[in-house]
Amino acid sequence: MGSLLVTEVRITSESSADGSDAGTTMAAPRDEFIKLFTRYQRRVFLYILSQVPNPVDAEEIHQEANVIIWRKFDHFELGTNFLAWSCQIANYEVLKYRERKRRDRHLFSDEFVRQVASDAVEQADELEQRRQHLAVCLSKLRSNDLELIQQRYSAGESGKSVAELIGRPINSVYQSLSRIRRTLLECVNRQIRAQATP
Amino acid sequence: MSVSSLQHEELVQLLEVLCEDRLDRQQAARLEELVLGDPEARTLYLEYISLHGTLYWDAARGGVEESELELRVSDVAVASPVTATRGDRRRARAVVAAAAAAVLLVAVGLAMWPSAAPRGSGIVDTDPNRPNRPNRPDGPAVVDGGNGSKVLVDPAPRQPASIVAAPGRQLSNKVTPGSTAKGAVAVPEITSPNPPSTGIRPREGSLAGIVGFVDDRVANGWQDNEMTASEVASDSEWLRRVYLDIVGHIPPANDVIAFLKDRRAEKRAEVIDRLLDDTDYIRHSSTVWSNLLVGRGARREVNRGALEKFLRESFARNRPWNEVVGELVAARGRNDENGATNFLLAHLNNDATPATAITARLFLGTRVQCTQCHNHPFNNSRQQQFHGLSAFFKSTRAAAVGGSEAFELISEPFDGAAYYEDRQGVLHMAPARLAGQRVDLKGVENPRAELARLMTGGSDPRLARAMVNRTWARLLGHGFTSPVDDMGPHNPPSHPEVLDRLAREFVASGFDVKQLVRWICSTRAYGLTSRMTAENTLDDPATGGQPLFSRVYTKPMSVEQLYDSLLVATQADRITASDWESVAANRRRWQSQFVYSFETDENDEAVNFDGTITQAMMMMNGPLIREALSLQPGSYFHQVVHERGSDVDRVKRLCLSALGRYPSSAEMKAIGEMLPLRPTAQARQTPASGPLAEGLEDVFWAYLNSSEFITVP
């Protein structure tokens, strides 16, 4: 099903590959599209991540989806819901990935993925709001905690590799990370509540 | 509620495993089950994943806002997604990050900043005509890809190590007499330069900022009084204190050894964090608060188990304090189903006078009970004030639930006022009021819900101030006011600025109780020794003066702390190996020997537990100590006697376990004279026995019965 979609795609924006035609008639909608594309990058990623909770895998899927989104950009009607449109494309990519990995590791069931995917779209705005509060909450972390969480999330790292890097027992690192993430989640909840009841 | 909060915890744990990519098949199945079974669980799942994903996403991008990116992104972004290929490790978001970077090199600010504070602020250069800032080694760069497209090289812009001063550093700074005030000023100032033109004040709310402010003000007090603070507490003193304060028992010997060995500056801060995450924090906090709320004595109407469960759940989830108080004040229903009802059920005697008085005292730091009968001679609280508050409780009743032992807390609609006679016998009507604000309760279904709303809504600062003062007092040994719950205008606080700031931050944090404890435990004052020096003998609030916090004031252990500490020191509970519930029941039985209660306006209690002879007898001869000192396998004493090691090591382990420190040389010498200690080689071969074992028993007994043992240093 997903592969069908790919063959359907018309390659449309080759000409803009070097970015030199910024002044042509295409420019206005294209600029608009770029804006939307940029603005929703993270949300599409999060949407994928809810179904494929390994960030590295999710990223790969996201990248595939991005290629399709770009190729299909003239299929998108400005003014309609860009996020929903992108998520649809992302969905096919998730399906393709799950198909490939069917025999692999511990995948979530189809039912689970369907359910969280639909919830994720519904709650996209709330989740986006939480992300803004997260910035505030990060600034409230103790410097050690902030450093640890940054190390953990820098490219290619995992709790395990960070533990090796800083020479702490792996379980203690898992514990610290867990504590920090819980703290952040709590803090975000608090911020949201504080906003709701001024 | 209990079921869902248990599941909440289980789900969070599974999500944590998921975030670290360690979920096995079984766990995955359980996670699915939980998530599919409950919409709230689904929301939590999404919130967690989105937190995880956002951290992942933002970490590699240095926290640049999308809204900033999209302004100037077009030039570069067009090229890139098309050139993206399957094997490209630097993924599409690198495109965005680098695209942004090419145009708007994120300036000085971000690189200097601990993460999030200045995000979305005006420090981004959006002018495309301006040349890029000089390349910094950590800045992203645009490189010519060779085929006409631009390849974006993302050097994984990491945040530099934060420059916020680690609180651990302040704590471990050796304070030399004479340099105190200066040191305290220096610490907060290195936290950060001001962010350029953002209007955001990052130090507000940050640990280093708050602690720095408090340290500063407290040190000013020393200076003003020409006083030098005591030295920083030794590691063993500090560890014992922080364990007793946060988790309610002394540190196990192994923790002491590990802590003493640890040479890192941040170790104290780490212990604070670890203890706040310990389940014993939950247990200890619940114990402290259930004692404050309903006392230790038993009452027919009170289901203590249910109340403690309510509190445990609240502290486990670190629920905002205003929410918890709101629920306690507004609670209705059966006391076995809604644990929060038990607070008021304990105080409805005497026409609910205790309910009014204790609510005001505990949660608002205001004493109103004397004004029940007369206007206060010194402060402007009036009879009207007391009765205005009591009006909220007038329609609250306790009703026995037929066919069970449960009670029900009910509120009935009423005319919304309390009636009282003044001393001349004139009858007055007091309409419900709080902090001078009249409230119309006519026909209101639950007047206490109204009260809860007013108390906890944030417009009345007393809720936060009362909690800050009480927490400070619990940790430092003395509050900003004395008594701690009498904070009216007639009784000004010793450190008004500190109290104000902490209260403000507490509100801003969303009434985060753990944060409050963390702030206070991270202050310099909390890290000082409780020993007086020649220079600060005058700082002794026990004699009536204002506290200066130039040392920590010692506290006696509570009965619960003592009991739990005895268990930690002796591992006596491992002999009788029992579950949590029966341990708690044993503890209650044990402590009931010490507690007497009175039915007064405040339902006072006397705890006959103050180092008196009664207590000493109880300690020395009670079955608890007998069991602890027995040589039954499982007890700590048994281990010490049987472990491999010299006899001196055995004595050391006993001292570590009881007092959290190594024996002093004087102690060691005295013990050496009394006990037939053996040569090391022989001691390593055979366990202690006979007179030696008895001698060791005496040593341990002496340590456990010392006044050092029952004191929180």
Q: Which helix (H) or strand (E) holds B419?
A: strand B417-421
Does B3 score more than 60 pLDDT? Answer: no
- Count of beta carbons in the 10 Å neighbourhood of residue B596: 12
Residue whose entry in the numeric block shows the structure tokens 């009452």: B299
The answer to whether the Cβ–Cβ distance between B20 and A174 falls below 8 Å is yes
How long, in residues, is chain B?
A: 713
Contact B378, B418 (CB under 8 A): no
Distance from CA of A91 to the nearest CA of B (A): 16
Classified as helix, coil or strand, B427 is strand
Which residues are paired to B408 by β-bridges?
B334, B399
Q: Which residue has the higher pLDDT, A3 or B631?
A: B631
How sure is the predictor about B59, in pLDDT bands with cuts at 50, 70 and 90?
low
Restricting to B residues 550-579, those with a Cβ less than 8 Å away from any Cβ of A are none
How sure is the predictor about B390, in pLDDT bands with cuts at 50, 70 and 90?
confident
The per-residue pLDDT for B194 is 33
Which residues are paired to B528 by β-bridges?
B232
The last residue of one of the domains, among A107, A122, A137, is A122
The proportion of chain B whose per-residue pLDDT surpasses 90, expressed as a percent, equals 32
Joined tokens for residue A57: 């895998």
| A115/A144 same-domain check | no
The last residue of one of the domains, among A78, A101, A122, is A122
> Picking from A16-20, B54-58, B336-340, which range would have the lowest pLDDT averaged per residue?
A16-20
Classified as helix, coil or strand, B408 is strand
**Residue B667, class by beta-carbon neighbours within 10 Å (0-12 exposed, 13-18 middle, 19+ buried)?**
middle
Does B581 score more than 90 pLDDT? Answer: no
How sure is the predictor about B476, in pLDDT bands with cuts at 50, 70 and 90?
very high
Restricting to A residues 94-153, those with a Cβ less than 8 Å away from any Cβ of B are 106, 108-109, 111-112, 115-116, 119-120, 123, 127, 130-131, 134-147, 149-150, 152-153
Judge whether B115 is closer than 8 Å to chain A, CB to CB: yes
- Count of beta carbons in the 10 Å neighbourhood of residue B581: 9
Q: Which residue of A has its CA nearest to B163?
A: A143
Judge whether A14 is closer than 8 Å to chain B, CB to CB: yes
B149-187: b or e for each residue (b if 16 or more CB lie within 10 Å)?
bbbbebebbbbeebebbbbbebbbbebeeeebbebbeeb
Restricting to A residues 62-101, those with a Cβ less than 8 Å away from any Cβ of B are 62-64, 66-67, 69-70
> Picking from B411-425, B480-494, B673-687, which range would have the lowest pLDDT averaged per residue?
B411-425
Does B175 score more than 50 pLDDT? Answer: no
- Count of beta carbons in the 10 Å neighbourhood of residue B489: 9
**Residue A29, class by beta-carbon neighbours within 10 Å (0-12 exposed, 13-18 middle, 19+ buried)?**
middle
| A93/A143 same-domain check | no
| A72/A135 same-domain check | no
The proportion of chain B whose per-residue pLDDT surpasses 70, expressed as a percent, equals 68
**Residue B26, φ and ψ in degrees, nearest 5:** -65, -45
Question: What are the pLDDT digits (tens) for B442-470?
Answer: 778 888 998 999 899 867 789 999 999 99
The per-residue pLDDT for B375 is 52
> Picking from B244-248, B365-369, B484-488, which range would have the lowest pLDDT averaged per residue?
B365-369
Closest among A161, A47, A173 to B16, alpha carbons compared: A173
The per-residue pLDDT for A192 is 86
Mean pLDDT across A50-58: 87
Q: Which helix (H) or strand (E) holds A114?
A: helix A110-122
The per-residue pLDDT for B315 is 95
Residue whose entry in the numeric block shows the structure tokens 């007393």: B462
Judge whether A58 is closer than 8 Å to chain B, CB to CB: yes
How sure is the predictor about B622, in pLDDT bands with cuts at 50, 70 and 90?
low
| A53/A142 same-domain check | no
Question: What are the pLDDT digits (tens) for B545-557?
Answer: 789 999 999 988 8
| A37/A65 same-domain check | yes
Q: Which residue has the higher pLDDT, B521 or A40?
A: B521
Q: Which residue has the higher pLDDT, A102 or B320?
A: B320
* Cα B140 to Cα B157: distance, rounded to the nearest angstrom: 7
Does B236 score more than 50 pLDDT? Answer: yes
Mean pLDDT across B206-222: 92
How sure is the predictor about B282, in pLDDT bands with cuts at 50, 70 and 90?
very high
How sure is the predictor about B138, in pLDDT bands with cuts at 50, 70 and 90?
very low
The per-residue pLDDT for A104 is 64
Contacts of A142 in chain B (CB under 8 A): 164, 166-167, 207, 269, 273
Does B578 score more than 70 pLDDT? Answer: no
Q: What is the amino acid identity at position B332?
A: R
Does B342 score more than 70 pLDDT? Answer: yes
| A116/A130 same-domain check | no
- Identify the top-confidence range among B242-251, B386-395, B615-624: B242-251
Which residues are paired to B396 by β-bridges?
B411
The per-residue pLDDT for B273 is 94
How sure is the predictor about B594, in pLDDT bands with cuts at 50, 70 and 90?
low
How sure is the predictor about B372, in pLDDT bands with cuts at 50, 70 and 90?
low
Does B288 score more than 90 pLDDT? Answer: yes
Contacts of B82 in chain A (CB under 8 A): 13-14, 17, 67, 70
Does B471 score more than 60 pLDDT? Answer: yes
Contacts of B96 in chain A (CB under 8 A): 38, 41
ipTM over 0.90: no
Contacts of B509 in chain A (CB under 8 A): 140, 190
The per-residue pLDDT for B144 is 38
Judge whether B144 is closer than 8 Å to chain A, CB to CB: no
Distance from CA of B213 to the nearest CA of A (A): 15
* Cα A106 to Cα A109: distance, rounded to the nearest angstrom: 9
Does A118 score more than 60 pLDDT? Answer: yes
B102-116: b or e for each residue (b if 16 or more CB lie within 10 Å)?
bbbbbeebbeebbbb
Contacts of A141 in chain B (CB under 8 A): 115
| A80/A33 same-domain check | yes
The per-residue pLDDT for B561 is 86
Classified as helix, coil or strand, B153 is strand
The last residue of one of the domains, among A122, A143, A167, is A122
The per-residue pLDDT for B486 is 87
How does strand B605-607 pair with strand B595-597? antiparallel
Cβ-based neighbours of B112, under 8 Å, separated by 6 or more = B160, B163, B192, B193
Contacts of B77 in chain A (CB under 8 A): 34, 37-38
Distance from CA of A116 to the nearest CA of B (A): 7
Q: Which residue has the higher pLDDT, B146 or B482?
A: B482
- Identify the top-confidence range among A3-7, A126-130, B83-87, B207-211: B207-211
Question: What are the pLDDT digits (tens) for A128-162?
Answer: 888 888 888 888 888 888 888 888 887 678 888 88
Name the residue among B46, B76, B114 with its Cβ closest to that of A50: B46
What share of residues in chain B are helix, strand, coil (percent, to 5)? 55, 5, 40
- Count of beta carbons in the 10 Å neighbourhood of residue B421: 11
Q: Which residue of B has its CA nearest to A64?
A: B86
The per-residue pLDDT for B574 is 61
Classified as helix, coil or strand, B156 is coil
The per-residue pLDDT for B494 is 92
Mean pLDDT across B634-645: 84
Which residues are paired to B142 by β-bridges?
B152
The answer to whether the Cβ–Cβ distance between B273 and A179 falls below 8 Å is yes
Mean pLDDT across B59-81: 41
| A34/A99 same-domain check | yes
- Count of beta carbons in the 10 Å neighbourhood of residue B275: 22
Cβ-based neighbours of A143, under 8 Å, separated by 6 or more = B114, B161, B162, B163, B164, B165, B166, B208
Does B276 score more than 90 pLDDT? Answer: yes
Mean pLDDT across B322-342: 94
* Cα B28 to Cα B2: distance, rounded to the nearest angstrom: 23
Contact A154, B60 (CB under 8 A): yes
User: Which of the 8 DSSP states describes residue B630?
Assistant: S
Mean pLDDT across B207-234: 91
Contact A18, B43 (CB under 8 A): no
Q: Which residue has the higher pLDDT, B596 or A67?
A: A67
* N- to C-terminal Cα separation, chain A: 49
Restricting to B residues 571-630, those with a Cβ less than 8 Å away from any Cβ of A are none
The answer to whether the Cβ–Cβ distance between A139 and B510 falls below 8 Å is no
| A95/A11 same-domain check | yes
**Which is it for the CA torsion A102, A108, A112, A114, positive or negative?**
negative
Mean pLDDT across B588-600: 57
Which residues are paired to B273 by β-bridges?
none
* Averaged pLDDT score across all residues of chain B: 74
* Averaged pLDDT score across all residues of chain A: 78
Name the residue among B116, B158, B509 with its Cβ closest to that of A135: B116
Count of domains forming chain A: 2
- Identify the top-confidence range among A28-32, B228-232, B614-618, B708-712: B228-232
* Cα A12 to Cα A71: distance, rounded to the nearest angstrom: 6
Q: Which residue of A has its CA nearest to B278?
A: A179
SS (H, E, C) B191-237: CCCCCCCCCCCCCCCCHHHHHHHHHHHHHHHHHHCCCCCCCECCHHH
Contact A30, A19 (CB under 8 A): no
Q: What is the DSSP string of B120-149?
A: TSTT----TTSPPPPPPTTS-EEEE-SSSS
Q: Which residue of B has its CA nearest to A69?
A: B81
> Picking from A93-107, B303-317, B597-611, B652-666, which range would have the lowest pLDDT averaged per residue?
B597-611
The answer to whether the Cβ–Cβ distance between A17 and B52 falls below 8 Å is no
Judge whether B277 is closer than 8 Å to chain A, CB to CB: yes
The per-residue pLDDT for B367 is 82
Residue A79, Ramachandran bin (φ over 0: left; ψ between -120 and 50: alpha; else beta): left
The per-residue pLDDT for B230 is 93
Distance from CA of A103 to the nearest CA of B (A): 13
Mean pLDDT across B472-486: 92
The answer to whether the Cβ–Cβ distance between A19 and B76 falls below 8 Å is yes
Contact B301, B405 (CB under 8 A): no
Closest among B709, B577, B711 to B656, alpha carbons compared: B709
Name the residue among A37, A38, A154 with its Cβ closest to that of B60: A154
Distance from CA of B95 to the nearest CA of A (A): 10
* Cα A176 to Cα A157: distance, rounded to the nearest angstrom: 16
Closest among B314, B321, B325, B289 to B304, alpha carbons compared: B289
The per-residue pLDDT for B698 is 85
Q: Which helix (H) or strand (E) holds B437?
A: strand B437-438
Domain ranges, residue A143: 125-196
How sure is the predictor about B388, in pLDDT bands with cuts at 50, 70 and 90?
confident
